[in-house]
Amino acid sequence: MQHIFHKGTDDTKPTLLLLHGTGGNEQSLVGLAQEIDATANLLSVRGNILENGMPRFFRRLAEGVFDIEDLIYRTQELNDFLTEAAQQYSFDRQRVIAIGYSNGANIAASLLFHYEDALAGAILHHPMVPRRGIELPVLQDVPIFIGAGTNDPLCSAQESTDLETLLTAAGAKVTTAWFDYGHQLTMSEVQAAKEWYDSINS
């Protein structure tokens, strides 16, 4: 998968996996990640799917309707890539925290839904429930931050609430922060994510 890796300056920190939204690329969230933790390893990945020329991490059939078969395939592809990247760049595969926005948050959530040890934690900005009606792996005490907009036209408040419920039921420790905005990513949301991140790494 097309990607960039920046070696961090603090080996005690996790590796931050950056997953962009539709139309983004491997550069899109680097600035955001540096706001969260400027000392951690950064692994930023570009989605392998193109929709009208815009990179995505998996196909969709319509707005808000995921191609589940492709989602499952692309989730496995990303999970396998993380294992290979950990060997290539010598970082701890068990200490990867995803930072995803929109489509990137959805593929990060899908990693959590499908693989018990894929992520050590996640910051999910405006995610949806990747799949319904499946049993999740045990996510005991995996820390997860959900950033949600009360007026998000693409990701309803119910989606965020349902995702929190499903992850919590699997054992994860979920913190959901609500903002009176739509689907955009605001500095107040980034600051809340940073405060949460600092609290789990203190």
Please give the positions annotated as active site.
102, 152, 183
Q: In the chain, how long is the greatest CA-to-CA distance?
A: 43
- Euclidean distance between CA atoms 103 and 10, whole angstroms: 29
- Give the strand order in the sheet containing 96-101: 3-6, 41-45, 15-19, 96-101, 121-125, 143-149, 173-179
